Amino acid sequence: MALTTGLIVCTAGAVTSDTPVTSLVISNGALEIACDWTGIDCVGLAAPHVDYPESLAWWGWLGAYSYEDDPTGVWLHPDFMGRLRDPAAFDLFAFSILLHETVHYIYYQTFGVDDPDITSTASRCASERLAWSIANTWLISVGLGQLADYHWAERYEGCEL
């Protein structure tokens, strides 16, 4: 993974600095990083589609993934839409939120098939632990370590660090 003029450049060469920035391009970059950094085998897994529902703004959430409601997509705060599509305004923090939600997506797509209790507290906490770890690692790697959240478990009932 490399950063070029604020764009994600996939190591497979699928995305370059000349590629038009779309939700799919950014989603593919997040999928590649999430799969690589988690070590989860994502062969055959398509990148999630990205939606920007107003409801996230109403709830005060930055991102969400719902295995039950939309298993093939992730949701980001509507304010992030321009920050992820415009190379001049590319927002590394917004990308960390997409990366976090993409980790949930690959976790549930990979393990949810064989786990009838995938939405249990234990599974949810394991997914959160992995997602926060990857998002925090991203933030540190791009010089935004001060935005990393090491106290995430305090907001998730039943989860521990």
Domain residue ranges in the chain: 2-155
Helix axes 23-38, 121-141, angle to 10 degrees: 100
Confidence class for position 101, pLDDT limits 50, 70, 90: very high
Residue 141 has pLDDT above 70, yes or no: yes
CB 101 within 8 A of CB 131: yes
- pTM for the full predicted model: 0.82
* 98, 50 contact by CB (below 8 A): yes
Percent of the chain clearing pLDDT 90 (strictly above): 47
Per-residue pLDDT reduced to its tens digit, 15-73: 344 444 456 677 888 999 999 999 999 999 999 999 999 998 888 899 999 888 888 99
Residue 22's pLDDT is 56
C-alpha–C-alpha distance, residues 145 and 107, integer Å:
24
Residue 11 has pLDDT above 50, yes or no: no
